[in-house]
Amino acid sequence: MKSLKQKWCAITVMLSEQQRGVMENLFQIKPLSANRMFVRKGRTTYKTADYKRFQEDMAVILMDQTWDFKSNPVHFIVYAGLSNKASDLDNIIKPLLDTYQNIFEEFNDKTVQGIILQRDRVKRGGEYLWVRVEKAEELEVGLQAFKDSDKKES
């Protein structure tokens, strides 16, 4: 487990980027799989200790940040440094989005319009998550370009 000092050493880029509608963070923590979020005992479901720790670690890094996107649509760009070759890349999205939703009251994962997700193979102990959140204005431009190209083909 990383010390609090190491967690604070995580890179946070928010200066002029946040003014342009961008939030960018490097979390030097091991990405959590959706398979390790909850455990069921009888009819009751509980958060696992791993999931609680993951949310606490991310909260420490994000505590001084604000969600300036309000309820506007956003894109997530995520690079995940994973040491286990058998890890399913898609399993890291659910705990990541749920944690952002838990930390930022204004954020609801239904506003996520797109996700770009890429894996980076790293040695054990070097796991990380690099997360960039930005306004989803590009999607509207892309949709218009698609409509324009459809008209040209007709």
pLDDT of residue 148: 74
Whether 69 contacts 133, CB under 8 Å:
yes
Taking only the tens place, the pLDDT of each residue in 48-69 is 999 999 999 999 999 889 999 9
Is the pLDDT assigned to residue 10 strictly greater than 50? no
* pTM for this predicted structure: 0.77
45 forms beta bridges with 40
pLDDT of residue 147: 74
Judging by DSSP bridges, how do beta strands 74-82 and 44-47 pair with one another? unpaired
Q: Cα separation of 81 and 112, whole Å?
A: 22
Please, which pLDDT band fits residue 30 given cuts at 50, 70 and 90?
Answer: very high
Residue 1 has pLDDT above 90, yes or no: no
Q: Could you give all domains of the chain from N- to C-terminal order, each with its CATH number?
A: 4-153 (3.30.1330.70)
> Average pLDDT, whole number, for the chain?
84
Q: What is the mean pLDDT of residues 10-35?
A: 71
Distance CA 77, CA 88 (A): 17
A 10 A CB-CB count for 90 gives: 11
User: 136 pLDDT band (50/70/90 cuts)?
Assistant: confident
- Given this model, what pLDDT does residue 2 score? 45
pLDDT tens-digit series, residues 71-105: 999 999 999 999 999 999 999 999 999 999 999 99
* pLDDT value at 7 more than 80: no
Q: What's the pLDDT score for residue 39?
A: 95
Token digits of residue 80: 């995940």
What residue type is assigned to position 16 of the chain? S
Q: Alpha-carbon distance 58 to 28, whole Å? A: 10
Whole-angstrom distance, CA of residue 100 vs CA of residue 116: 16
What distance in Å separates the CA atoms of residue 67 and residue 107, rounded to the nearest whole number? Answer: 7
